[in-house]
Amino acid sequence: MNQNIQALTDRMAISLSLLCTIHCLAFPWAVILIPSLAALPLEGEALHLWLLIVIIPTSIFALTLGCRKHKNYHIVAVGAIGLSILITALFVERLESGEIWEKVLTVIGAIFIAAGHLWNYRLCHHHDNNCSCHDHSRQIK
């Protein structure tokens, strides 16, 4: 059961980070190409806040599970840096020139979070498939 939870939370955190990045970079272009999207409540800091509410506990849970198994604190540090950057991006958006910085910080934070979870996932495979915290039948190469 623990191996499934670990694998699921790592994948979920990577997916949420990518969703955050896609929203930040692609939504303005999508609104231009499909103007009816502007009616959806997908823009603004409310969505970023809700994404953070899901990303923070998911990342903390997955990274601490991995840290307990692998004793690699660098992975937790990479994830914590990413989370800190995402939280900062939420507050930077309120500044006068904050919109561009909010997008830059969101992308950088998402990259850090995804990298931490990918590193955590790959660390299991580095140990000759002896790690019990991931399902090795679905390897990421």
pLDDT for 136 equals 45
Q: Are 94 and 5 in contact (CB under 8 A)?
A: no
Residue 81 class from Cβ within 10 Å (0-12 exposed, 13-18 middle, 19+ buried)?
middle
pTM above 0.85, yes or no: no
pLDDT for 102 equals 82
DSSP 41: S
Q: How far apart are CA 53 and CA 14, in angstroms?
A: 15
pLDDT tens digits for range 62-87? 888 877 877 888 888 999 999 999 88
- In 3D space, the residue among 114, 109, 78, 111 whose CA is nearest the CA of residue 91 turns out to be 109
pLDDT tens digits for range 24-40? 777 677 767 777 766 66
Spans of all domains in the chain? 2-126
